[in-house]
Amino acid sequence: MHGEHTIREIFAQPDLWQRVREGLGAELDSFSFDEGQEVIFTGCGSSYHLAETGANLFSQWTGLRARFVPASELVLYPELTFRDRDRVALVALSRTGTTSEVLQAVEAFRERRAQGRVAGPLYGVTCTGESPLAGACDRALLIPAREASVVMTQAFTGTLLALALWALAVRPDAERAAALAAAVRQAEAPLRQSDALKAVAELPVKHFVFLGGGLLHAIAREGALKLQEMALEPSAIAYHALEYRHGPKSTVGPDTLVTMLLTGVGASYEAVLLDELKGLGARTLVIAGADQAAIAARADHHFLCDAGLAAGALEAPSDASRALLYTPILQLLAYHRSVRNGADPDAPRHLSRSVIL
């Protein structure tokens, strides 16, 4: 069956999240940074989206300055990122630990550090312990995910959770930790909506737009990438949510499906945008938490990522929790669209598990 590895790995995420949360806690304390140090996150493809998420999490949660840069940009244009005598750390992400541009970025950082031009730790984040990336870094954070498919699914969310836990290890916060723990407990909720997502995947649309702000921008980009990789949909694209009305909305029509990822802070603005896009004739899909059900219900289609995260100890789920729970819904949408298109998400055209140049 086409896609058997992909769908199995999507549904394996609840177990993986539990293993990440239970297995990495004590280890993360030793992946430290100096006060005032800048942290650069880098990767390629889905790992670059994780780099964006990691940088934004660290910026919001730790007090450290953090940025995200594609690995190829670090290699080709290092002067845009590094300055001499920088106190800067590099966090390099690669599922396989063999991605060429990531390894080249790591080597460039090592050379600058050996020359005394930068000072700071070099950390790798990978699912493969015996990999060139793990060997080239000072230390490697190992994500216990193993994927047979080409497209990154469970490894993405497992790494996302690990990055959030890492940020909490740098600067503990009981409320944020509780939100993450609640999200892990709710891991089955997005998966239970797989059958309903099939109907959305069958819609007669030609253009797919994903909108997300703040921490959810990288998740919107990942949603578009999954449709490109799995379903071979060339028109899938992502924007910062409110940026979409500044030009791109001119392309909206009944053959456009706009998927909006509701944030915590921006939901009231996103609700206005949702109504505007519906008025322009777009088909709309909203992914939200149970605390935003009233807004989500205004869309043509909507999915709630949890069974009530707002209840009990959590008044307002964090956007990190939303990012973790929204992602499997986007993966399932891409999987079902790929089946509808007759594609094989286990072995997408022109792609391999790692880009080695």
Mean pLDDT, consecutive 10-residue stretches, the chain (357 aa), reads 84 96 86 91 97 96 95 93 86 94 96 92 94 95 90 96 96 93 94 94 95 97 95 92 86 93 94 94 94 94 77 63 96 95 78 50
Those residues whose C-beta lies under 8 Å from the C-beta of residue 191, and which sit 6 or more positions away, are 10, 11, 13, 14, 328, 332
Contact between residue 126 and residue 133 where contact means Cβ atoms under 8 Å apart: yes
pLDDT given for residue 1 in this prediction? 55
pLDDT given for residue 297 in this prediction? 94
pLDDT given for residue 345 in this prediction? 83
pLDDT given for residue 310 in this prediction? 44
pLDDT given for residue 313 in this prediction? 42
pLDDT given for residue 266 in this prediction? 92
pLDDT given for residue 308 in this prediction? 58
Query: Where do we find the tokens 């390629």?
Result: 44
Q: Per-residue DSSP letters for 215-281?
A: GGHHHHHHHHHHHHHHH--TT-EEE-GGGGGTTGGGG--TTEEEEEE--STTHHHHHHHHHHHHHTT
- For residues 221 and 201, give the distance between their C-alpha atoms in angstroms, rounded to a whole number: 18
